[in-house]
Chains A and B, each alone.
Chain A
Amino acid sequence: MLEARELTCSKRDRTLFEGLSLVVEPGELLYLRGPNGAGKTSLLRILTGLSSPDSGVVLYNGMDISADKTGYYQDLFYLGHKSGTNGSLSALDNLSFWLAQHNVSVPVNTLFDVLEKVGLVGLEDVPVRYLSAGQQRRVALSRLWLKLAKVWILDEPFTALDVKGVHMLEKSMKEHVGRGGLIITTSHQHLSETAGEHRVFDLEYRF
């Protein structure tokens, strides 16, 4: 259960939000909506602990995440704007190093199967910089099936994905929520019904 209490955040002397509280229970999909510049990304980064809020606290299972991070990070998967893959390494290498860093051991054939599932057959050993933006996004997304994280925090996961990619991602979101997982996502296209029912949280633009 992920909870945020009285979060305040200001960027370049513009308060994005203040006194913001939200609670997300397991088995729930929270859809964070708001215009550009409303502070969606900043809120997500605060929820992951990457950046710290001006005031307020984020709790995971009742414990402040800034105190003990390892427990929280064991269950967390964060997808940011940047793909987190090094251009000169191949998709295979990027994923195997990422898994090693997250202390997850997975046989090589599973890597190939997951890459096949995201539609990257034949491109497994090509340096990532030669792939298109959408394909690089799929390499970052394939981590969802490699690390079984309870909490998914996705920052505009649908950008640069084609129709088939969007459908696949929404289906897996529905399965994850069904299995008792917890998802917070932002997106500029509305979620279709394949993603299952979801709660909307609106963030207005403050001047």
Chain B
Amino acid sequence: MQFESFADFLNMGGYAFYVWLSFGVTFLAMGIIAIQSFSKHRDLLKQVVVEQERKARIKQARQQQQDSM
């Protein structure tokens, strides 16, 4: 271990702010792109279901018009 104590590790030889800021932003950005991709996947599948129901409603409305003609 390069550092004597955990506090020294956190201090990063005086550059704590820059090191932890860059690591934080990096993993934050990676997290955001990953989560965004997964939630888009969920929304897309939900959208497919909505499209299915929309088709069913349109078909059903067409039937009603045929019968009422």
Contact = CB atoms under 8 A, between A and B. Distances in A.
| A touching B, CB within 8 angstroms | yes
Name the prevailing secondary structure of the B interface residues: helix
Nearest to B69: A164
Interface string B42-69: 0000000000001101100100010000
A116 interface: yes
A98 B15 CA distance: 58
Interface residues of A, number: 6
A122 interface: yes
Contacts of B54: 122-123, 126
A121 interface: yes
A117 to B, nearest CB: 11
A122 B62 CA distance: 11
Interface of B: 54-55, 57-58, 61, 65
7 contacts: A119-B61, A121-B57, A121-B61, A122-B54, A122-B61, A123-B54, A126-B54
Q: Which 3 pairs, one residue from A and one from B, show the smallest C-beta to C-beta distance?
A: A121-B61, A122-B58, A122-B57
